[in-house]
Structure 1
């Protein structure tokens, strides 16, 4: 601050010259007064040549309560700016009409705004107003190192006469520090954003944006929040005006631009585009779908209609209806209660736990096999086995073999399925995906993927190698023979069962299962469909629409057909 010290000396010289002038004037007046008192040539009662005043200067005291003189303005503003520049906050604040507020604001400035090397240069006053320029250095952290940037701005102060002391003082107001400051506001240097920006990448390394993929907006936001630290970005730094609560009012200087970190995902742009289009084409106002690669567990696509709002595809909690018969079939095969080619009952009605269960349109299958019942989605073929099962049999099998109900580490928020232990009629209803069973397109796509792959691989959207998290693992393997049998059941259903119409145009190694879940108080059932073709498994739900094959089937088929 070389130039400022010279200016301070000049200000001090001005003050000394004035003090000297005042001293001479006072001495002259005192000498004159003494002479007058000693020489009493004036007649008693005649007017005196000396004004009747206690002020030895001979001036009217009322003049001291007027506006500060030009010299007082120069001296007071100069002394204030000198003290502020030198870091003598106590002295600077003492020269204002609100010492407490001024001291608090001046004290906070170096720390909160990170200002140093302050140089203040005043311009020509206009009345009591004194414009001045602030030159400072702002210090901030960026990329792990301390950085510096010059900053200059113009401000103004006003010198007034203090009502209590009649002395000239600086009128304290926030605008003295900076012209943009209002009451209760202050300057602060801090991060541009609370968290560093994060870019979510597809499997090809291209950026996925909410503008281009509105249905992924929630996923992108979740990824940004979860991986802000790991992604390698920076928040940037700014000098700003904040209110009393610390909220940004205005950015004054962007000192360092935020840099985005990057998080890889498994989203396949072609499959994602197809899935988004498929849910848009679905009948009704709502539809959701998820696509998974069975051989890896990678989530290739997530889509909802409407695109904005709750993410039903990953976080929904719906009864999956007959699509859950895939899991129940696996349990029955494991327990020796069913076999694809074996004879299996499918009566019109079966009562369990005091509740009569029936098939759609009350159909029955006489002398049929379990494969026939599965393909036709016969409810009573499954309910009839309830007496042979424990209350917790289905939940245990769903968790231990299909991973449903475990805590999945997908990389974003998900609901990972729920198969609670129930009894009587509710336990029986669970066997056909009703009762307390709750799933979503993610978990039902995983069921198809588990069958196609021959074992459970936890689905994930952010590769676990990115952050070192551990994926959920099923405690029991799916028996290879049972897996082959399940694939045969799903293939039969896709070729001539309830899924045949929807899957008629899908090629490759295919399998599927339909579902229609009744919901209390809802006019139509929720349509479900899950299936696979080669190394792609997809599930969809179209709420309050109708039969799964008619309403959810086309969504799944459209995605499977669009697979690269």
Structure 2
């Protein structure tokens, strides 16, 4: 009966020649009649003249190959094995091929053998007819060393209720044995070219069904269709494929190694049914994300469901490069002002609290900061105006309200101080919000510079927490498949209400105006530009939410976020 792939099978010993019987096999003897005498169908090496010392001739090679292949095809295993230089090993291998391979009948056809090393190469003849219906052309008789023969095997297989025909090419070599007789030099590759020493052919069910990775609606996801998911699909399948039930394995013919482990699949008799590994991704949103970053340089985007943190889409402009969307580590620039605003609101400020915006400013005689635009100045500005217009100085001058740990304490409520486990690979230390020691480091972190780093996944989560007040650790597969899930306090409904007002202000009267045109009252955004040493332009950032979805994007070395990353975010939100 068929065997399951990966189950070790013991070597079958020598059996009698009549075990299978000739009646069930079609033996196509293409070599018969090469010498006009009906071939060399003896059970010993070559017999008679073939045993004479000296170089082999093409006739001797043809006669020996003919006898071996005819016996093999006819199920006369012992007779075929006796025509090799290793009868016992050949008997076991040919027997196993029939039994383990579930071969019910066998036919062999091919071309006239050509001696190797001939001084005048022999010209291959056309394929001959069968022994029952005709004769073949005469073979060259040029003396030579060992000779080779190419042939084609057609095996009829039956296993697990499935029948199939398997055709493949193979070859053999004929040489003298120690007595001077012409014999087939035995190697497992005679049975099939994929076989090495210790290997055998097995037909049976595969060890496991294949695993299809699907989106949340059951649509199969592939790297061909969604290039940015290539690494993620492979990673998820590797992590969680064996956790999924269902599906049926292929029925296949495959190489089994000597240690019982499965090797190369040679023939699939019946395709199995793949089991389904469902992700949180949405194929429609993913397609929009792939299109949105296409043609950009160093761009990544991530989309989340704001209510549960499930990841809807991940895309990178260079799918074969760094996964910027999930694994990037860049200063987030002014998008970090969402977290900073939450920290200030928790310590007494509100959207209408005074926060003068000067063209340049510092704190405690420390580092001098400027705004993206030298003309940005408003002595009467409040927190809402500063946020909408992304005034750096309006924020850094509020640093004394936060104290040494205030910003990091609020970042912890956004889940930014604990590494996440989202169900696919992300940096082990991210998020990992720094401690903000020192006045200059704290003020830098308040505007998304200094030692704080993020990626679109992190900033989309920040926008989602701001929109709902609750933190949900992002994930790309079912929560039950992920060990070590974390929790964080979130910012609560009051702070969330003020953050939504600030982020809505950026759309109606701030830096996100235009790019977010058409989004309603249930939307908000924040732009960002982050300075990077050695770059001619800043990295452009943008994060926003609309309805049930939050999206963040970054474009490297691209300038202002509203013109570089903003259109990417808006395009994905419109498709969500």
If the length of structure 1 is used for normalisation, what is the TM-score? 0.70
1:114 matched to 2:114? The reply is no
Report the CA distance between 1:258 and its aligned residue: 4.4
Are the counterparts in 1 of residues 334 and 530 from structure 2 also a CA contact under 8 Å?
yes
CA shift in 2, pair 1:152/1:473, >3 Å: closer
Answering whether residue 266 of structure 2 is matched by residue 277 of structure 1, we say no
Report the Cα offset of residue 331 of structure 1: 1.5
Q: 2:339 aligns with which of 327, 333, 348?
A: 327
Q: Secondary structure at the match of 1:531?
A: strand
Out of 239, 263, 267, the residue aligned to residue 253 of structure 1 is: 267
Counterpart for residue 223 of structure 1: 236
CA distance in 1, matches of 2:523, 2:173: 83
Instruction: List per-residue Cα deviations over 1:399-441 (Å, max 9, x = no partner).
Output: 3x11124343433333553312242223321111111211111
Q: Give 1:525's aligned residue.
A: 538
Distance of 1:229 and 1:523 partners within structure 2? 48
Please tell me whether residue 368 in structure 1 is matched to residue 352 in structure 2.
no
Distance 2:443 2:369 in 1: 9
Distance 1:489 1:180, change over 3 A: closer
Unaligned 5+ runs, structure 2: 1-14, 23-49, 109-129, 140-146
Deviation at 1:525, TM superposition (A): 0.5
Distance change (3 Å), C-alpha of 1:310 and 1:198: farther
506, 517, 536: which is aligned to 1:504? 517
SS at match of 1:446: helix
Partner of 1:341: 352
Quote the residue 2:447 is aligned against.
432
Cα distance in 2, alignment partners of residues 111 and 397 from structure 1: 68
1:402 to 414, 417, 435: 414
1:410 & 1:474 partners in 2: Cα distance? Answer: 13
> 5 Å matches for 1:124-135?
none
The Cα of 1:306 is off from its aligned counterpart by 3.6
SS at match of 2:326: helix
Partner residue in 2 for 1:555: 568
Secondary structure of residue in 1 paired with 2:388: helix
Shift of 1:545: 1.1
Deviation at 1:305, TM superposition (A): 1.9
Q: C-alpha root-mean-square deviation of aligned residues, in Å?
A: 5.0
1:209 lines up with 2:222 in the alignment: yes
Aligned positions, number: 490
Give the unaligned 5+ runs of structure 1: 9-61, 141-145
Contact 1:324/1:433, CA 8 A, preserved across alignment? yes
1:503 aligned counterpart, secondary structure: coil
1:287 is matched with which residue: 276, 293, 299?
A: 299
CA distance in 2, matches of 1:302, 1:215: 7
For 1:344-355, what aligned pairs fall within 5 Å after superposition?
Answer: 344-347=355-358, 348-351=360-363, 354-355=366-367
User: Deviations 1:261-299 (Å, cap 9, x if unpaired)?
Assistant: 212233334433433333348xx4343222222123232
SS of equivalent to 1:209: coil
After superposition, give the CA deviation of every residue in 1:148-205 in whole Å (9 maximum; x if it has no partner): 9798989898887643x56x57443226841646876944448999975332323332
Aligned-pair distance for 1:534?
Answer: 2.4
What is the DSSP-based 3-state SS (H/G/I as helix, E as strand, rest coil) of the residue aligned with 2:489? coil
The residue aligned with 1:495 is 508
- By percentage of residues, which structure has more helix? 1
> 2:422 is paired with a residue of what secondary structure?
coil
Aligned-residue offset at 1:371: 2.0
Displacement of 1:513 in angstroms is: 1.0
Query: Which residue is 1:458 aligned to?
Result: 473
Give 1:52's aligned residue: none
Label 1:331 to 1:325 Cα distance change in 2 as closer, same or farther (>3 A): same
Q: Per-residue displacement from partner, 1:435-465 (whole Å, max 9, x unpaired)? A: 121111111111111111121122223232x
Q: Please report how far the alpha carbon of residue 324 of structure 1 lies from its aligned counterpart in structure 2 after TM superposition.
A: 0.5
Is the Cα contact below 8 Å between 1:406 and 1:472 reproduced in 2? no
